[in-house]
Structure 1
Amino acid sequence: MRTEEIAAMALERLDNDRYVLSNLLFARIKELGAGATPLVNMKITKHKLADIAMREIAEGKITLESVESIPTNA
């Protein structure tokens, strides 16, 4: 599947809200960078963390429960 298709699927899952998508991506990339295990069949050593996080969102493995669930300390 092409990157554009994955991004479109992820955006659709979040009601086409690019702001929410970018915040959710940022939060998940931080988790993956800190050692979290990917929820999709992609290796951290082979793929970019952003690509893994985007695929997780597109496949519905990562969802946004509420705005408070996104870490605010950067």
Structure 2
Amino acid sequence: MMRTEEIVAMALERLDNDRYVLSNLLFARIKELGAGATPLVNMEVSKHKLADIAMREIAEGKITFDGVEPLPTNA
């Protein structure tokens, strides 16, 4: 079993070490899991914290961040 620090390091590496993006992606995924989304890793919601599940999903590349969409302009 991997240590929490190793999982966080893997997740950060996948996101170019951007802690801001990691925290936002993590929060969004925790909301989805809390609303009943099925985990994308082999971890049960009843046995693990949602944050741990979401972090593992990001670390394993199951959840990705492709960038920010530009806001529409009023042309």
Q: What is the TM-score when the length of structure 2 is the normalising length?
A: 0.88
Q: When you count helix as a share of all residues, which structure comes out higher? A: 1
CA distance in 1, matches of 2:4, 2:44: 16
For structure 2, the 5+ residue unaligned runs are: 70-75
Local SS of the residue matching 1:67: coil
Match of 2:35 in 1: 34
What is the letter of the counterpart of residue 39 of structure 1?
A: L
* 1:11-60 deviation line (CA, Å, top 9, x unaligned): 00000000000000000000000000000000000000000000000000
CA distance in 2, matches of 1:67, 1:52: 24
Kindly report the root-mean-square deviation, in angstroms, between the aligned alpha carbons of the 2 structures: 0.7
Match of 1:8 in 2: 9
Would you say 1:63 and 2:64 are equivalent positions? yes
CA distance in 2, matches of 1:52, 1:44: 8
CA distance in 1, matches of 2:68, 2:52: 22
Among all aligned residue pairs of Structure 1 and Structure 2, give the percentage whose two residues are the same amino acid. 90
What is the letter of the counterpart of residue 53 of structure 1?
A: A
Superposition deviation, residue 65 in structure 1? 1.8
When Rg is computed on C-alpha atoms for both structures, the one with the higher figure is 2
Q: What is the TM-score when the length of structure 1 is the normalising length?
A: 0.89
